Every structure is written in structure tokens, then in C-alpha cells.
Amino acid sequence: MRNLIASSCRSLVYGFVCIAFLRAATSSAQTWREIQSPHFRVVTDGSDKDGRDVAHEFEQMRSIFSTLLKNPVLDTGAPLLIVAVREPGLQALAPVFWNQRDKVAGQFFRGWERQFALVRLDTFGDLNQAVVFHEYTHSILHANVHWMPTWLDEGLAEFYAYTRFQGDHIYIGEPSLRLSHLKSESLIPIPQMMTANAGSFFKDKDRDDLFYGEAWAMVHYISYGKHMGNGAKLTSFVRLMEQGTPQLEAFQQTFGDPEEFQQKLATYLSTFTSPAGVMREVRGPDPSSFTVKVLSPAEADCDLGSFDVGAHDYASGRRLLQAAESADSTLAGPHEELGFLAWRAGQDDEARAEWQKAVTAGASSYRSAFALLMSGAPPLKQQSPQQLEQTQQALEAINTTAPKFAPAVVELALIEWRQGQLNEALKTSLAAEKLEPWRAEYHLLSGYILLQNHQPAVAADYARLVASRWSSTDHDEAVDLWNLVPPAMRGDGPPLTLSLPADATVVRGTIVSTRCDRFGLTLMLEPNTPHASPLKLVTTGSFENGFADTLWVGEDHYTPCFHLAGLPAVVAYKTSEDGIAKLVVFEVRDDLPNPNLPPSASLPARAVPPEAVGRH
């Protein structure tokens, strides 16, 4: 994945944050309650009924996906905390949202390890909660489908975002608020919709709104339009892509010529009368059965501080977490979150001390146990066979406690690969793919293991599939795997090429050090070229930074400022007139075992069933 780092962000050490949700340093002046439904946890400064109503609507949304999807994954390894606040609480918690009170009912923050939703109690329930349900839909889709084009991913999220609960009926597909853009502007051509990604239109708000509106309209038409089989064609389209069919080919097979489809879509919109699907309310848990607990000030500060960290307001989060830690040192949560904040700031000893306190305070603190293990042991490539076995046993214990925590599963696969246990390594890697199907590098890990086992054609299939569906660093990592496959075994199709800037100098090497200050990032790189001198690269503005999904720190805790020494990297830079090498792209790779080494164990002739590659 790749992050865009803006030049105006000077606080590099603390996470590239340009905004802060200023709030009171403690929640002790308010009474906060915890409402626990069968599948959701709500923390609120409202009444018991307020919290139960919010939890009930989330349970209803969950029931929709449980009914409509086939054998869905509805609970991921990233638990969701819902913070439901009244007007005064919102002003204190997140004034950036409060200042937009006529537009925003809340916000959703999706992390690798934890997810957070902010809900405004004064507007929740009148369709203004769309932003929250939009992102919740993404989390469900990403846990169940390995990849979707952006238009379909966003279109489905918009489609379900405006779900309305009325009496004993559920209305699905209510009009998007962006529908007005479709009536006043020309539609974006379908080929452009199919190739759009997250950055295609974000610089132009009107075009961005038009894209989201048209994506919603395409899904609405495919779901309810004439001759669409009440969504049957949508299911066929997704199935074809899951089997590896290129998007355009799958689209033409399912919906016909894109230009004809667009004409029919325009006609559909011109006669649009706000149809929506109707479901009888799925019988779910009785809200009166949801448990209610009044939180202590320390417990409330811990939850709200964790929310602030999840919202990338590290300063406010730290203040609340420190207040919680001071008030009740027996709570594991404050120690855990403060440990990760210290790690991001390069304060490793302090981080490990906090994680140790978290593990001591709570046996279920699997995130702290994992961080302690991975930060304290030597890198896997430096571990002796005995050390690898000890690390493996510790990871298996974490996996027993948290079986849906994918980062631990990935590390187990890497250990088994290094031990030569290729059967087990592939099985474990496939399990990680299933847990987090949206992580490109998880699929590539399986491809590398297959290549190690002399199955280059299957590895090439993995590489081409990822390269065709993911962009930026993920795409480039797939190209790296593809380049390791013997040319005769790469199959049909055009050569894969890196997505790095054509006008920049590209160098591969090993990271010697990174340093962040108020001026930006300084990187020292030892090129792979023999006898080459270390290369010093600096940033003086924005640059693109991506990293492998298999790095144990993951997106939630990654920072280019620390902990990267010894890792492989690919960089693109441009030399200024004064001779300074200015970093443009910085891609951090994981230090995988050498896939060209002869395997110490053999797999069957076809380790992966033919349909398995199509699922990725």
C-alpha cells in the first residue's frame, strides 16, 4: 500500500497528522455507558435507550448482510467500537465534525487491528448516518470479496449506506445524496468508471461527488433495473472476477457493451422514481436484552483515548490514555495504546515496558503480546532454528487467543517457509488470505511459496492477478514476483512493469537508516549494485511511501521514521540542480526468504486447486 505524505505535515515523528480533534483532557465530568449487543459494543454519553437504539441499527445492518451474502464473514480481526455522543459531547470530542453539523452525522475509522465509528445521537436515524454505514459496508465487503473495482466497491457502499429502517420493513437502495450531481452533469464514461481508483477524482470535489453518485446509480440499476435479474447479474459479474476474469471482459459478458450499458443507465436515471428494495425486518436480538454498564472515568478515558488514536489525533489520545493509566493502573487498554504511541515515536524501551504491563494486566491483550514478541526478537532471518521454533510456539499461542488476527498468521507462514515446511507454509498463507482478503501482499506471499516449490506458472498467475487489480506499491511488489518467474512460465499477456515515475532514477537497496525532523525525511540506502556508495535521499515536499502488508507493524503502527533499518527498499528520486537527491517514491519491502533457494520439502504436483487462484 502507499500513503501520500503532505509537505505541510511537519509532525512526522507522531504520524503525519495535519489536524487535531481538540477535546477536554478527561471525560470524568460526563457519565459514559457501555452497551453490549451480541455483535457490537457502544460507548455513549446518552441514555440507555440511545445506546441500545444505535446498537440495534448496527445489528439490523449486520442482519442484512447475513441474509443477502452467501456464507458471509461478518466478524473480522479488527473489532469495532462505536462511540455515540450527544451534542455537547460531540463538541468536546470532535469539533471538526461539529462545525459541519448540518452535513455530518459521524465518521468511521477503519484500521487493521481496530475500527471506530463516531455517531451523533441528534441526527442518527434520519439517513444522515450514511457515512457510518457506508464505511461499515466496506468492512463487510472487504472481508468477503478478494477484490472489487473501485466503482463497485464504492457503489455498493453508497447503495447500502442509505438503508432505512421503518417499522417492520427495511428499505435498501434509497437515493444517494449525490443523486443531484447526476441530474446536472454528464455521466462519466463507463470505461473511466471501470479504471478509476481512489485518487482519480479526489482533487475535484464535483467530479468526486459525480463518481460516487454514478457508482451508486450503476449498482442501483444493476440491482433493480429491467433484465438484471434482481441482482443476479451482479452476482455473476463478481463471480467472474473472483475466478480471474479481467474486469472489462467480465463486464461485457455480463452486461454487454459498455456504451450501450451507459445509454440504458442514462434512461434509467431519467425515469428514476426512487425504487428501493424492501426486506421484512430480520428477527434479531431484542434491544432490551443488551447489557448496560456505567463506565468508570478511567474506563471511559481509555475508550475515548483509543478512539482519538484511531482517528489519528495522537496528542488527545495520549492525554486521555495517560489519565486512564494514572487513575487505574490495572487496566490493560491504556498500557497497550500508550505502548504503540511510544513505538511510533521511536521510544522502543518505553513501548515494550507498556506492552509488558498490558500483558500482565490482561491475558487477552494479544496485540501487546504480538508486539512484544516481534519487537524483542531478532528478525526472522537472523534467528537460529531453535529461536524460530520458540517464536513459532509463541505465535501459535497468540493465534489460539485471537484466531482472526491475521498478522500473527502471516508471521507463522513466514516461519514455516524458513523451516522448509512448505506444505504448512502454504496452508497458513492461504488462511491469512482468507482472514484479510483485501491485503495484496498476503496473496503474493502464497505466490512466493509456490515459486519456492517449483510451481512458477501458478506463482505467475498470482502475480498477474495482483498486478492487474492493485496499484502503486502493491502492483510493484507483484511485478517483483513476476520477474522471478522464468519467462517461459509466465503465461500469456503483456509484460508487467513497475508503476514508478519514468522520469526518475530507480534504485534497489537495503535501508541503512531513516530520520525525520521538521524538514522532512532523510533516508540512507545501500544500493544493491556492487561497490556502490550509500545513497542519501531527502524529502522537501510530498512523496509517496508504501510498504509491504506482511511487515508485522501493519498500517496502524507503520512510520518511515523508525524501525526500517535492514529492510529492502525500492526508491525513485530526482536530482535537483544543486545536486541533492530528492525522494519521490519510497517503497519498503519485507525481508522474505530467498525464493530461489532449493526447497527442503516437496509439495504435491499441484499444491493449489485450479479454482484457488481465481479466488484471489
What is the residue extent of each domain of the chain? 175-275, 505-588
Whether 393 has a pLDDT exceeding 60, the answer reads yes
Q: What angle do CA 375, 380, 383 make, to 5 degrees?
A: 105
User: Domain 505-588, what fold?
Assistant: OB fold (Dihydrolipoamide Acetyltransferase, E2P) (2.40.50)
Over residues 162-189, the mean pLDDT reads 81
Distance CA 505, CA 540 (A): 17
What's the predicted TM-score (pTM) here? Answer: 0.86
- What confidence score (pLDDT) does residue 596 get? 56
Instruction: Assess whether pLDDT exceeds 50 at residue 101.
Output: no
Q: Angle at Cα 80 formed by Cα 302 and Cα 363, nearest 5°? A: 60
**Lookup: cell for 433:** 488470505
- pLDDT, residue 436, reads 92
> Who has greater pLDDT, 374 or 4?
374
pLDDT digits (tens, 9 = 90+) for 332-388: 999 999 999 999 999 999 999 999 999 999 878 999 999 999 998 899 999 999 999
Residues 458 and 473: beta-carbon distance below 8 Å: no
pLDDT at 88: 63
Q: Is 207 helix (H, G, I), strand (E, B) or coil?
A: helix
C-alpha dist (Å) from residue 19 to 160, 311, 359, 527: 29, 10, 32, 36
> Partners of 587 in the beta sheet?
546, 570
How far apart are alpha carbons 268 and 217 in whole angstroms? 9
Identify the pLDDT of residue 208.
Answer: 83
Residue of higher predicted confidence among 396 and 99: 396
Buried b / exposed e over 10-26, threshold 16 CB at 10 Å, is eebbbbbeeebbebeeb
Any idea which of 8-12, 36-40, 322-326 has the lowest mean pLDDT? 8-12
- For residue 610, the model assigns a pLDDT of 32
Q: Write the pLDDT tens digit of every residue in 538-568.
A: 998 889 999 999 999 999 999 999 999 999 9
Mean pLDDT across 229-250: 89
Q: What is the pLDDT of residue 355?
A: 97
pLDDT value, residue 207:
82
pLDDT at 407 over 60: yes
Looking at every residue in the chain, the average pLDDT score rounds to 85
Grid cell listed for 35: 452497551
- What whole-number distance in Å separates Cα of residue 82 and Cα of residue 80? 6
Q: Indicate the range of 274-288, 294-308, 522-536 predicted with least confidence.
A: 274-288
